[in-house]
Amino acid sequence: MKYISDIGSYFLMLRTVFSRPTKGSVIYELILKEIDELVINSLGIVAFISFFVGGVVAIQTALNIDNPLIPEYLVGFATRQSILLEFAPTFISIIMAGKMGSFITSSIGSMRVTEQIDALEVMGINSLNYLVFPKIIALLFYPFVIAIAMFLGILGGWVAGVQGGFTSSEAFVNGLQIDFIPFHIVYAFIKTSVFAFILATVPSWQGFYMKGGALEVGKASTNSFVWTSVLIILTNYIITTLLLGS
Amino acid sequence: MIKVIEIHKSFGEEHILKGISTTFDKGKTNLIIGQSGSGKTVFLKCLLGLFEAEKGKIVFENKAIQDMNPDEKRDLREDMGMVFQGSALFDSMNIEDNVMFPLRMFGKRKKSDMLDRVNQVLSRVNLENANKKFPSEISGGMQKRVAIARAIVNNPKYLFCDEPNSGLDPRTAILIDNLIQEITREYDITTVINTHDMNSVMEIGEKIVFLQKGNLAWQGNNDEIFKTDNKDVTDFVYSSDLFKKIRDIQNLDQ
Protein backbone atom coordinates (compact mmCIF):
# COMPACT_ATOMS: atom_id res chain seq x y z
CA MET A 1 0.00 0.00 0.00
CA LYS A 2 2.87 2.34 0.90
CA TYR A 3 4.48 1.75 -2.52
CA ILE A 4 1.26 2.73 -4.29
CA SER A 5 1.03 5.88 -2.22
CA ASP A 6 4.73 6.65 -2.94
CA ILE A 7 4.23 6.19 -6.68
CA GLY A 8 1.15 8.42 -6.47
CA SER A 9 3.06 11.16 -4.66
CA TYR A 10 5.84 10.97 -7.28
CA PHE A 11 3.39 11.60 -10.14
CA LEU A 12 1.59 14.34 -8.21
CA MET A 13 4.98 15.95 -7.69
CA LEU A 14 5.66 15.83 -11.45
CA ARG A 15 2.34 17.54 -12.13
CA THR A 16 3.20 20.35 -9.72
CA VAL A 17 6.73 20.69 -11.13
CA PHE A 18 5.29 21.63 -14.51
CA SER A 19 2.61 23.98 -13.19
CA ARG A 20 2.85 27.64 -12.03
CA PRO A 21 6.28 28.46 -13.48
CA THR A 22 8.82 30.58 -11.63
CA LYS A 23 9.84 33.95 -13.08
CA GLY A 24 11.90 33.46 -16.27
CA SER A 25 15.00 35.45 -15.27
CA VAL A 26 15.24 33.56 -11.97
CA ILE A 27 14.77 30.13 -13.51
CA TYR A 28 17.38 30.89 -16.22
CA GLU A 29 20.02 31.53 -13.54
CA LEU A 30 18.99 28.40 -11.66
CA ILE A 31 19.32 26.27 -14.80
CA LEU A 32 22.88 27.55 -15.39
CA LYS A 33 23.74 26.80 -11.77
CA GLU A 34 22.33 23.28 -12.03
CA ILE A 35 24.21 22.62 -15.29
CA ASP A 36 27.39 23.54 -13.45
CA GLU A 37 26.63 21.51 -10.32
CA LEU A 38 25.09 18.43 -11.91
CA VAL A 39 26.64 18.15 -15.37
CA ILE A 40 30.01 19.93 -15.41
CA ASN A 41 30.94 18.73 -11.91
CA SER A 42 30.28 15.11 -12.94
CA LEU A 43 32.61 15.14 -15.93
CA GLY A 44 35.79 14.36 -13.97
CA ILE A 45 34.55 11.20 -12.30
CA VAL A 46 32.76 10.04 -15.45
CA ALA A 47 35.92 10.51 -17.53
CA PHE A 48 38.08 8.67 -14.98
CA ILE A 49 35.73 5.69 -14.59
CA SER A 50 34.99 5.40 -18.31
CA PHE A 51 38.61 5.41 -19.38
CA PHE A 52 39.71 2.73 -16.94
CA VAL A 53 36.64 0.51 -17.23
CA GLY A 54 37.03 0.67 -21.03
CA GLY A 55 40.60 -0.51 -20.54
CA VAL A 56 39.55 -3.37 -18.27
CA VAL A 57 36.84 -4.51 -20.71
CA ALA A 58 39.44 -4.71 -23.51
CA ILE A 59 41.95 -6.59 -21.34
CA GLN A 60 39.33 -9.03 -20.00
CA THR A 61 38.07 -9.76 -23.52
CA ALA A 62 41.59 -10.31 -24.83
CA LEU A 63 42.52 -12.58 -21.92
CA ASN A 64 39.43 -14.73 -22.43
CA ILE A 65 40.07 -15.39 -26.10
CA ASP A 66 42.18 -18.54 -26.27
CA ASN A 67 40.81 -20.02 -29.46
CA PRO A 68 42.95 -19.04 -32.49
CA LEU A 69 39.82 -19.27 -34.68
CA ILE A 70 38.30 -16.25 -32.97
CA PRO A 71 39.44 -13.14 -34.82
CA GLU A 72 41.63 -10.58 -33.02
CA TYR A 73 39.27 -7.74 -33.91
CA LEU A 74 36.81 -9.18 -31.37
CA VAL A 75 38.58 -7.18 -28.65
CA GLY A 76 37.63 -3.87 -30.32
CA PHE A 77 34.20 -5.17 -31.24
CA ALA A 78 33.38 -6.37 -27.70
CA THR A 79 34.71 -3.17 -26.16
CA ARG A 80 32.57 -1.05 -28.50
CA GLN A 81 29.42 -3.05 -27.90
CA SER A 82 29.85 -3.18 -24.12
CA ILE A 83 30.63 0.52 -23.80
CA LEU A 84 28.03 1.84 -26.25
CA LEU A 85 25.13 -0.39 -25.30
CA GLU A 86 25.44 -0.81 -21.55
CA PHE A 87 28.43 0.60 -19.75
CA ALA A 88 28.16 4.26 -20.77
CA PRO A 89 24.39 4.75 -20.67
CA THR A 90 23.36 2.37 -17.89
CA PHE A 91 26.25 1.88 -15.52
CA ILE A 92 27.42 5.47 -15.60
CA SER A 93 23.79 6.40 -14.80
CA ILE A 94 23.82 4.08 -11.79
CA ILE A 95 27.07 5.68 -10.64
CA MET A 96 25.42 9.07 -11.16
CA ALA A 97 22.45 7.89 -9.06
CA GLY A 98 24.97 7.73 -6.23
CA LYS A 99 26.88 10.91 -6.96
CA MET A 100 24.31 13.26 -8.46
CA GLY A 101 21.26 11.65 -6.84
CA SER A 102 22.54 11.83 -3.29
CA PHE A 103 23.61 15.44 -3.88
CA ILE A 104 20.11 16.36 -5.09
CA THR A 105 18.37 14.50 -2.25
CA SER A 106 20.60 15.87 0.49
CA SER A 107 20.48 19.46 -0.78
CA ILE A 108 16.66 19.47 -1.09
CA GLY A 109 16.31 17.46 2.14
CA SER A 110 18.48 19.97 4.02
CA MET A 111 16.28 22.76 2.68
CA ARG A 112 13.25 20.89 4.01
CA VAL A 113 14.84 20.40 7.46
CA THR A 114 15.91 24.04 7.75
CA GLU A 115 12.46 25.32 6.64
CA GLN A 116 13.85 26.89 3.46
CA ILE A 117 11.15 25.10 1.44
CA ASP A 118 8.49 26.47 3.81
CA ALA A 119 10.00 29.92 3.26
CA LEU A 120 9.51 29.51 -0.50
CA GLU A 121 5.92 28.32 -0.01
CA VAL A 122 5.08 31.23 2.30
CA MET A 123 6.34 33.63 -0.37
CA GLY A 124 3.83 32.05 -2.75
CA ILE A 125 6.49 30.36 -4.88
CA ASN A 126 5.84 26.95 -6.40
CA SER A 127 8.76 25.34 -4.58
CA LEU A 128 8.68 22.18 -6.70
CA ASN A 129 8.93 24.17 -9.90
CA TYR A 130 11.68 26.34 -8.38
CA LEU A 131 13.74 23.38 -7.15
CA VAL A 132 13.09 20.52 -9.57
CA PHE A 133 12.34 22.07 -12.98
CA PRO A 134 15.87 23.56 -13.40
CA LYS A 135 17.35 20.14 -12.63
CA ILE A 136 15.24 18.49 -15.34
CA ILE A 137 16.31 21.10 -17.88
CA ALA A 138 19.97 20.92 -16.79
CA LEU A 139 19.95 17.16 -17.27
CA LEU A 140 18.93 17.58 -20.90
CA PHE A 141 22.70 17.97 -21.23
CA TYR A 142 23.27 14.57 -19.61
CA PRO A 143 23.53 12.76 -23.00
CA PHE A 144 26.68 14.85 -23.65
CA VAL A 145 28.19 13.35 -20.48
CA ILE A 146 27.36 9.88 -21.76
CA ALA A 147 28.81 10.71 -25.19
CA ILE A 148 32.07 11.63 -23.46
CA ALA A 149 31.88 8.39 -21.45
CA MET A 150 31.46 6.42 -24.71
CA PHE A 151 34.42 8.10 -26.35
CA LEU A 152 36.72 7.76 -23.33
CA GLY A 153 35.63 4.17 -22.65
CA ILE A 154 36.60 3.13 -26.17
CA LEU A 155 39.79 5.19 -25.99
CA GLY A 156 40.65 3.47 -22.70
CA GLY A 157 40.06 0.10 -24.36
CA TRP A 158 42.34 1.01 -27.26
CA VAL A 159 45.11 2.31 -24.95
CA ALA A 160 44.97 -0.73 -22.64
CA GLY A 161 44.60 -3.24 -25.49
CA VAL A 162 47.32 -1.83 -27.74
CA GLN A 163 49.79 -0.50 -25.15
CA GLY A 164 49.38 -3.65 -23.04
CA GLY A 165 50.19 -5.79 -26.08
CA PHE A 166 46.85 -7.61 -26.07
CA THR A 167 45.88 -6.62 -29.61
CA SER A 168 47.13 -4.54 -32.50
CA SER A 169 45.84 -1.06 -33.16
CA GLU A 170 44.68 -2.07 -36.62
CA ALA A 171 42.69 -5.06 -35.32
CA PHE A 172 41.14 -2.99 -32.54
CA VAL A 173 40.03 -0.22 -34.92
CA ASN A 174 38.77 -2.85 -37.35
CA GLY A 175 36.73 -4.35 -34.51
CA LEU A 176 35.27 -0.95 -33.69
CA GLN A 177 34.03 -0.57 -37.28
CA ILE A 178 32.82 -4.07 -38.01
CA ASP A 179 29.05 -4.75 -37.96
CA PHE A 180 28.37 -1.27 -36.66
CA ILE A 181 24.65 -0.55 -36.35
CA PRO A 182 23.95 3.20 -36.10
CA PHE A 183 20.60 2.51 -34.38
CA HIS A 184 22.54 1.29 -31.34
CA ILE A 185 23.67 4.88 -30.78
CA VAL A 186 20.06 6.09 -31.08
CA TYR A 187 19.00 3.36 -28.63
CA ALA A 188 21.74 4.36 -26.19
CA PHE A 189 20.74 8.02 -26.26
CA ILE A 190 17.02 7.29 -25.97
CA LYS A 191 17.62 5.38 -22.77
CA THR A 192 20.13 7.98 -21.56
CA SER A 193 17.44 10.66 -21.87
CA VAL A 194 14.99 8.54 -19.87
CA PHE A 195 17.65 7.93 -17.21
CA ALA A 196 18.36 11.67 -17.08
CA PHE A 197 14.72 12.33 -16.25
CA ILE A 198 14.80 9.66 -13.54
CA LEU A 199 18.06 11.09 -12.16
CA ALA A 200 16.56 14.57 -11.88
CA THR A 201 13.16 13.66 -10.46
CA VAL A 202 13.46 10.61 -8.19
CA PRO A 203 16.15 12.07 -5.88
CA SER A 204 14.25 15.39 -5.81
CA TRP A 205 11.09 13.54 -4.81
CA GLN A 206 12.93 11.71 -2.01
CA GLY A 207 14.43 14.96 -0.70
CA PHE A 208 11.29 17.04 -1.02
CA TYR A 209 8.96 14.70 0.87
CA MET A 210 11.39 13.62 3.58
CA LYS A 211 10.43 14.27 7.20
CA GLY A 212 12.64 14.60 10.24
CA GLY A 213 16.16 15.87 10.81
CA ALA A 214 19.75 15.37 9.69
CA LEU A 215 19.65 11.61 10.20
CA GLU A 216 16.60 11.34 7.93
CA VAL A 217 18.43 13.33 5.24
CA GLY A 218 21.02 10.55 5.20
CA LYS A 219 18.32 7.89 5.06
CA ALA A 220 16.55 9.75 2.25
CA SER A 221 19.82 9.86 0.27
CA THR A 222 20.19 6.09 0.64
CA ASN A 223 16.56 5.52 -0.37
CA SER A 224 17.05 7.84 -3.29
CA PHE A 225 20.00 5.75 -4.54
CA VAL A 226 18.01 2.51 -4.17
CA TRP A 227 14.89 3.84 -5.93
CA THR A 228 16.85 5.54 -8.71
CA SER A 229 19.02 2.45 -9.39
CA VAL A 230 16.02 0.11 -9.39
CA LEU A 231 14.13 2.38 -11.78
CA ILE A 232 17.13 2.71 -14.10
CA ILE A 233 17.57 -1.07 -14.23
CA LEU A 234 13.86 -1.65 -14.83
CA THR A 235 13.50 1.00 -17.53
CA ASN A 236 16.71 -0.30 -19.12
CA TYR A 237 15.11 -3.71 -19.39
CA ILE A 238 11.85 -2.32 -20.79
CA ILE A 239 13.52 -0.01 -23.33
CA THR A 240 15.90 -2.75 -24.46
CA THR A 241 13.01 -5.16 -24.96
CA LEU A 242 11.01 -2.55 -26.88
CA LEU A 243 13.81 -1.22 -29.09
CA LEU A 244 16.11 -4.18 -29.61
CA GLY A 245 13.93 -7.14 -28.68
CA SER A 246 12.13 -7.72 -31.96
CA MET B 1 -6.28 42.92 10.81
CA ILE B 2 -6.74 39.16 10.81
CA LYS B 3 -9.96 37.66 12.14
CA VAL B 4 -10.00 33.97 13.03
CA ILE B 5 -13.44 32.37 13.28
CA GLU B 6 -13.91 28.93 14.84
CA ILE B 7 -11.08 27.12 13.11
CA HIS B 8 -10.56 23.39 13.46
CA LYS B 9 -7.63 21.33 12.28
CA SER B 10 -6.99 17.60 12.64
CA PHE B 11 -4.26 15.23 11.56
CA GLY B 12 -5.85 11.81 11.21
CA GLU B 13 -7.59 11.03 14.49
CA GLU B 14 -5.78 13.79 16.34
CA HIS B 15 -7.83 16.98 16.75
CA ILE B 16 -5.17 19.71 17.06
CA LEU B 17 -7.12 22.99 16.85
CA LYS B 18 -10.56 22.89 18.45
CA GLY B 19 -12.55 25.89 17.30
CA ILE B 20 -10.25 28.86 17.89
CA SER B 21 -11.68 32.36 17.41
CA THR B 22 -9.71 35.55 17.90
CA THR B 23 -8.60 38.77 16.25
CA PHE B 24 -5.08 39.97 15.52
CA ASP B 25 -4.93 43.76 15.39
CA LYS B 26 -3.12 45.96 12.94
CA GLY B 27 -0.09 47.90 14.24
CA LYS B 28 0.20 45.60 17.25
CA THR B 29 2.46 42.72 18.19
CA ASN B 30 0.09 39.79 18.68
CA LEU B 31 1.56 36.83 20.51
CA ILE B 32 0.45 33.21 20.42
CA ILE B 33 1.75 31.45 23.51
CA GLY B 34 1.33 28.03 25.05
CA GLN B 35 3.20 24.91 26.01
CA SER B 36 4.87 22.67 23.47
CA GLY B 37 2.18 20.57 21.77
CA SER B 38 -0.57 23.12 22.45
CA GLY B 39 -1.10 23.70 18.71
CA LYS B 40 0.77 27.02 18.31
CA THR B 41 2.75 26.00 15.24
CA VAL B 42 -0.26 24.39 13.56
CA PHE B 43 -2.26 27.55 14.27
CA LEU B 44 0.46 29.74 12.76
CA LYS B 45 0.73 27.47 9.69
CA CYS B 46 -3.06 27.72 9.25
CA LEU B 47 -2.77 31.52 9.35
CA LEU B 48 -0.01 31.33 6.75
CA GLY B 49 -2.10 29.06 4.55
CA LEU B 50 0.47 26.24 4.75
CA PHE B 51 -2.19 24.08 6.43
CA GLU B 52 -5.83 24.22 5.41
CA ALA B 53 -8.31 24.40 8.29
CA GLU B 54 -11.14 21.88 8.01
CA LYS B 55 -13.73 24.18 9.52
CA GLY B 56 -13.91 27.88 10.27
CA LYS B 57 -12.54 30.95 8.49
CA ILE B 58 -9.44 33.11 8.57
CA VAL B 59 -10.32 36.58 7.33
CA PHE B 60 -7.61 38.90 6.04
CA GLU B 61 -9.03 42.45 5.97
CA ASN B 62 -12.41 41.62 4.42
CA LYS B 63 -11.94 38.29 2.70
CA ALA B 64 -11.53 34.79 4.11
CA ILE B 65 -8.55 32.84 2.78
CA GLN B 66 -10.95 29.89 2.32
CA ASP B 67 -12.98 31.94 -0.19
CA MET B 68 -10.02 33.17 -2.22
CA ASN B 69 -9.15 31.85 -5.67
CA PRO B 70 -5.51 30.81 -6.35
CA ASP B 71 -4.60 34.24 -7.78
CA GLU B 72 -6.01 36.03 -4.74
CA LYS B 73 -4.14 33.63 -2.46
CA ARG B 74 -0.93 34.38 -4.34
CA ASP B 75 -1.53 38.13 -4.02
CA LEU B 76 -2.15 37.63 -0.30
CA ARG B 77 1.14 35.77 0.07
CA GLU B 78 2.97 38.71 -1.47
CA ASP B 79 1.58 40.72 1.43
CA MET B 80 2.98 38.29 3.99
CA GLY B 81 6.43 38.21 5.55
CA MET B 82 7.63 35.33 7.68
CA VAL B 83 10.50 34.97 10.13
CA PHE B 84 11.17 31.29 10.75
CA GLN B 85 12.45 29.76 13.97
CA GLY B 86 15.74 28.78 12.35
CA SER B 87 15.76 31.90 10.12
CA ALA B 88 15.42 29.69 6.98
CA LEU B 89 17.89 31.77 4.99
CA PHE B 90 18.93 30.27 1.67
CA ASP B 91 22.39 28.74 2.24
CA SER B 92 23.45 29.14 -1.37
CA MET B 93 22.83 32.91 -1.41
CA ASN B 94 24.66 35.72 0.32
CA ILE B 95 22.84 38.14 2.63
CA GLU B 96 22.11 40.63 -0.13
CA ASP B 97 20.62 37.97 -2.42
CA ASN B 98 18.60 36.48 0.44
CA VAL B 99 16.99 39.83 1.21
CA MET B 100 16.56 40.68 -2.48
CA PHE B 101 14.90 37.33 -3.20
CA PRO B 102 11.23 38.39 -2.65
CA LEU B 103 11.82 41.52 -4.75
CA ARG B 104 13.27 39.46 -7.60
CA MET B 105 10.42 36.97 -7.45
CA PHE B 106 7.56 39.46 -7.40
CA GLY B 107 8.81 42.91 -8.26
CA LYS B 108 9.51 44.49 -11.61
CA ARG B 109 12.10 46.91 -10.31
CA LYS B 110 15.52 47.60 -11.77
CA LYS B 111 18.45 45.88 -10.10
CA SER B 112 19.78 49.19 -8.75
CA ASP B 113 16.37 50.00 -7.19
CA MET B 114 16.21 46.57 -5.61
CA LEU B 115 19.72 47.02 -4.23
CA ASP B 116 18.74 50.39 -2.72
CA ARG B 117 15.73 48.80 -1.04
CA VAL B 118 17.86 45.90 0.27
CA ASN B 119 20.40 48.33 1.76
CA GLN B 120 17.55 50.36 3.26
CA VAL B 121 16.03 47.37 5.11
CA LEU B 122 19.42 45.97 6.13
CA SER B 123 20.24 49.34 7.61
CA ARG B 124 16.82 49.33 9.36
CA VAL B 125 17.70 46.08 11.11
CA ASN B 126 21.14 47.52 11.99
CA LEU B 127 23.00 45.21 9.67
CA GLU B 128 25.33 47.09 7.41
CA ASN B 129 28.50 45.91 5.66
CA ALA B 130 27.42 42.27 5.72
CA ASN B 131 25.87 42.16 2.23
CA LYS B 132 28.34 39.75 0.71
CA LYS B 133 28.56 37.35 3.63
CA PHE B 134 26.82 33.97 3.56
CA PRO B 135 24.37 32.82 6.29
CA SER B 136 26.93 30.34 7.63
CA GLU B 137 29.40 33.20 8.18
CA ILE B 138 27.22 35.26 10.53
CA SER B 139 25.89 34.75 14.07
CA GLY B 140 22.40 33.50 15.00
CA GLY B 141 21.31 37.01 16.02
CA MET B 142 22.49 38.44 12.71
CA GLN B 143 20.70 35.64 10.84
CA LYS B 144 17.48 36.63 12.61
CA ARG B 145 18.00 40.24 11.55
CA VAL B 146 18.51 39.14 7.94
CA ALA B 147 15.35 37.03 8.19
CA ILE B 148 13.43 40.08 9.45
CA ALA B 149 14.89 42.21 6.65
CA ARG B 150 13.82 39.60 4.09
CA ALA B 151 10.35 39.44 5.61
CA ILE B 152 9.77 43.21 5.41
CA VAL B 153 11.60 44.02 2.16
CA ASN B 154 8.41 43.75 0.09
CA ASN B 155 6.40 46.01 2.45
CA PRO B 156 4.11 43.27 3.76
CA LYS B 157 0.79 43.92 5.48
CA TYR B 158 1.25 40.88 7.72
CA LEU B 159 4.37 39.71 9.52
CA PHE B 160 4.51 36.24 11.07
CA CYS B 161 7.31 35.12 13.36
CA ASP B 162 7.83 31.60 14.66
CA GLU B 163 9.81 31.76 17.91
CA PRO B 164 11.98 34.60 16.60
CA ASN B 165 14.32 34.67 19.59
CA SER B 166 14.82 30.97 20.21
CA GLY B 167 18.49 30.04 20.50
CA LEU B 168 19.55 33.62 21.18
CA ASP B 169 21.15 35.02 24.31
CA PRO B 170 18.74 37.10 26.48
CA ARG B 171 20.19 40.45 25.40
CA THR B 172 20.01 39.68 21.67
CA ALA B 173 16.54 38.16 22.18
CA ILE B 174 15.27 41.43 23.65
CA LEU B 175 16.87 43.40 20.80
CA ILE B 176 15.10 41.19 18.26
CA ASP B 177 11.77 41.52 20.13
CA ASN B 178 12.09 45.30 20.23
CA LEU B 179 13.08 45.43 16.58
CA ILE B 180 9.95 43.47 15.60
CA GLN B 181 7.78 45.77 17.70
CA GLU B 182 9.35 48.92 16.23
CA ILE B 183 8.89 47.62 12.68
CA THR B 184 5.27 46.68 13.45
CA ARG B 185 4.50 50.23 14.56
CA GLU B 186 6.61 51.97 11.94
CA TYR B 187 5.10 50.06 8.99
CA ASP B 188 1.66 49.72 10.63
CA ILE B 189 1.47 45.99 9.95
CA THR B 190 -0.30 43.10 11.65
CA THR B 191 2.33 41.05 13.41
CA VAL B 192 1.68 37.58 14.81
CA ILE B 193 4.43 35.98 16.87
CA ASN B 194 4.51 32.39 18.01
CA THR B 195 6.53 32.10 21.22
CA HIS B 196 6.84 30.47 24.61
CA ASP B 197 9.34 33.01 25.88
CA MET B 198 7.91 34.90 28.86
CA ASN B 199 10.42 37.71 28.35
CA SER B 200 8.82 38.37 24.96
CA VAL B 201 5.40 38.29 26.58
CA MET B 202 6.52 40.96 29.06
CA GLU B 203 8.35 43.07 26.47
CA ILE B 204 6.07 43.14 23.46
CA GLY B 205 2.83 41.31 24.32
CA GLU B 206 0.28 43.91 23.22
CA LYS B 207 -2.19 41.12 22.53
CA ILE B 208 -1.67 37.61 23.85
CA VAL B 209 -3.53 34.48 22.79
CA PHE B 210 -2.92 31.54 25.11
CA LEU B 211 -3.48 28.07 23.65
CA GLN B 212 -3.97 24.99 25.76
CA LYS B 213 -4.44 21.56 24.12
CA GLY B 214 -5.77 23.15 20.94
CA ASN B 215 -8.25 25.44 22.71
CA LEU B 216 -8.03 29.18 23.19
CA ALA B 217 -7.75 29.18 26.98
CA TRP B 218 -7.23 32.91 27.53
CA GLN B 219 -6.54 36.19 25.71
CA GLY B 220 -5.45 39.60 26.91
CA ASN B 221 -2.32 41.77 27.09
CA ASN B 222 0.96 41.72 29.00
CA ASP B 223 -0.47 43.57 32.02
CA GLU B 224 -3.50 41.35 32.30
CA ILE B 225 -1.58 38.08 32.02
CA PHE B 226 0.04 38.65 35.44
CA LYS B 227 -3.31 39.43 37.04
CA THR B 228 -5.43 36.64 35.64
CA ASP B 229 -6.61 33.81 37.85
CA ASN B 230 -6.91 31.39 34.93
CA LYS B 231 -5.06 28.35 36.28
CA ASP B 232 -3.72 27.18 32.90
CA VAL B 233 -2.20 30.61 32.30
CA THR B 234 -0.73 30.98 35.80
CA ASP B 235 0.75 27.47 35.61
CA PHE B 236 2.40 28.45 32.34
CA VAL B 237 3.57 31.91 33.43
CA TYR B 238 4.93 30.82 36.78
CA SER B 239 6.56 27.62 35.52
CA SER B 240 9.90 29.45 35.53
CA ASP B 241 11.71 30.08 38.82
CA LEU B 242 12.41 33.68 37.81
CA PHE B 243 8.73 34.57 37.52
CA LYS B 244 7.90 32.68 40.72
CA LYS B 245 10.47 34.77 42.56
CA ILE B 246 9.14 38.00 41.03
CA ARG B 247 5.64 37.01 42.17
CA ASP B 248 6.91 36.18 45.67
CA ILE B 249 8.70 39.54 45.93
CA GLN B 250 5.55 41.34 44.74
CA ASN B 251 3.48 39.45 47.34
CA LEU B 252 5.98 40.38 50.07
CA ASP B 253 5.80 44.07 49.03
CA GLN B 254 2.04 43.99 49.33
Q: Say how far apart CA B181 and CA B151 lie, in whole Å.
A: 14
Instruction: Determine contact, residues B155/B189, Cβ cutoff 8 Å.
Output: no
Contact B91 A116 (CB under 8 A): yes
At residue A54, the pLDDT reads 96
The mean predicted confidence, pLDDT, of chain A is: 93
Residues of chain B positioned with their CB less than 8 A from the CB of A114: 86, 88, 91
The answer, yes or no, to whether residue A245 has pLDDT greater than 90, is no
- Quote the ipTM score: 0.84
Give domain status of residue A3, yes or no.
no
Q: What is the CATH number of the domain that holds B239?
A: 3.40.50.300
> Would the pLDDT of A126 be above 80?
yes
Is residue A1, in this structure, part of any structural domain at all? no
Specify the number of domains making up chain B: 1
Distance from CA of B89 to the nearest CA of A (A): 7
Q: Which chain B residues contact residue A110 at CB under 8 A?
A: 91
Cα separation, B201 vs B236, in Å, equals: 12
Is the residue at B131 inside a domain?
A: no
Lowest average pLDDT, out of A81-85, A88-92, B228-232, goes to: B228-232
Does residue A200 contact residue A136 with C-beta atoms inside 8 Å?
Answer: yes
> Would B235 be classed as within a structural domain?
yes
Beta pairing class for B29-34 and B190-194? parallel
Q: How far is B85 from chain A (nearest CA, A)?
A: 9
Whether A4 is covered by a domain: the verdict is no
Q: CB-CB: which of B73, B84, B160 is closest to A115?
A: B84
Q: Residue A246 — pLDDT band, cuts 50, 70, 90? A: low
Strands B29-34 and B80-83: unpaired
Which of A114, A115, A123 lies closest to B105 in CB terms?
A: A123
Which tens digits make up the pLDDT trace of B221-252?
888 888 888 888 888 887 767 667 776 776 66
Closest residue on chain A to B160 (Cα): A122
Contacts with B, A 102-121, CB within 8 Å: 110-111, 114-116, 118-119, 121
**pLDDT at site A58:** 95
Nearest to A23 among B50, B84, B105 (CB): B105
pLDDT of residue B254: 64
Report which of residues A241 and B129 the model is more confident about.
A241
Q: Once rounded to an integer, what is the mean pLDDT over residues A110-121?
A: 92
For A169-180, what is each residue's pLDDT tens digit? 999 999 999 999
Domain coverage including residue B32 = 2-79+156-253
Instruction: Look at residue A38 and tell me if it is in a domain.
Output: yes
Does the residue B118 lie in any domain? no
B50 contacts in chain A (CB < 8 Å): 118, 121-122
Q: Is residue B116 part of a domain?
A: no
Confidence of residue A76 (pLDDT cuts 50, 70, 90): very high
Q: How many CB atoms lie within 10 A of CB A97?
A: 25
Q: Which amino acid, one-letter code, is at A170?
A: E
Contacts of B36 (CB under 8 A, 6+ apart): B196
Smallest CA–CA distance, residue A25 to chain B, in Å, is: 9
Alpha helices by DSSP H, chain B: 40-48, 70-78, 95-106, 111-124, 140-152, 170-187, 198-204, 231-237, 241-253
Count of domains forming chain A: 1
Which structural domain, as residue segments, surrounds residue A187?
A: 22-244
Q: For B125-151, give one letter per residue: b (16+ CB within 10 A) or e.
A: bebeebbeebbeebebbbbbbbbbbbb
Residue B35 has pLDDT above 80, yes or no: yes
Question: Is the CB of B102 inside 8 Å of chain A's CB atoms?
Answer: yes
pTM of the full structure:
0.87
SS3 B139: coil
Residue A233 lies in a domain: yes
Is B101 contained in some domain? no
In a domain, B121, yes or no: no
Average pLDDT score over residue span B25-33: 91
